[in-house]
Amino acid sequence: MNKVILIGRLTRDPEVRYSQNAEPIAIARYNLAVSRRFKKDGEPDADFINCVSFGKQAEFIEKYFKKGMQIAVTGRLNVRSYDDATGQRRWSTDVVVEDAEFTESRSAYEARMSQQSPQYQSNFDSMAEQYTPPASPMGGESPMGMATSAPSAPEGFAAITESIDDDDLPF
């Protein structure tokens, strides 16, 4: 079973693009800062998880979800590999979101955002910016029909730079 359940805060407003199919489909990409349950010295206290939503759900997320908002998502983990421009094999992982829900009221979100000190917001922005998704492995159109820009455009995937043979994978 491939099931992921996350609760975290959006690190930025969701980015929505449309596929270049005959009937364009909305594709929303966003990152969740998910707090770690236990923290070791010197390690960050949150993981930054790349998420993607499609169709009406993507349009809903674009309209109602904003940076800093706490949300819950359920979906499946999607792992894929590709060869970059230098011929090196890269791996990318994100959560394909099947359901997204509010975990705080709008008034609670607005009150919390208005009470946050500029220092806290600056620290949050700094942590979110430390993790920058790598460049898109493809220009043009992705296998899912998503419009992409030049190969240097971020796609919201996390790349694994180590060379891993398919035989070494546990699945």
CATH, residue 141: 2.40.50.140
Q: Residue 28: which of 63, 64, 60, 52 has the closest Cα?
A: 52
Residue corresponding to tokens 């199919």? 21
Query: According to the model, what pLDDT value does residue 62 have?
Result: 93
Q: Can you tell me the distance from the alpha carbon of 95 to that of 162, in angstroms, rounded to the nearest whole number?
A: 21
Query: According to the model, what pLDDT value does residue 130 have?
Result: 54
Q: Can you tell me the distance from the alpha carbon of 94 to that of 111, in angstroms, rounded to the nearest whole number?
A: 31
Query: According to the model, what pLDDT value does residue 154 have?
Result: 44
150: pLDDT strictly greater than 50? no
148: pLDDT strictly greater than 50? no
Three-state DSSP class for residue 128: helix
Query: According to the model, what pLDDT value does residue 142 have?
Result: 41
- Number of structural domains (the chain) is 1
Query: According to the model, what pLDDT value does residue 143 have?
Result: 38
Query: According to the model, what pLDDT value does residue 140 have?
Result: 41
Query: According to the model, what pLDDT value does residue 80 have?
Result: 85
DSSP 39-57: --TTS-SEEEEEEEEEHHH
Q: Residue 28: which of 65, 60, 10, 54 has the closest Cα?
A: 54
Per-residue pLDDT tens over the stretch 23-79: 999 999 999 999 988 777 777 788 999 999 999 999 999 999 999 999 999 999 999
145: pLDDT strictly greater than 90? no
| Residue ranges making up the domain that contains 117 | 4-168
Per-residue pLDDT tens over the stretch 89-140: 999 899 999 999 999 888 888 888 888 655 555 555 555 555 555 444 444 4
Is residue 155 within 8 Å of residue 52, measured between CB atoms? Answer: no
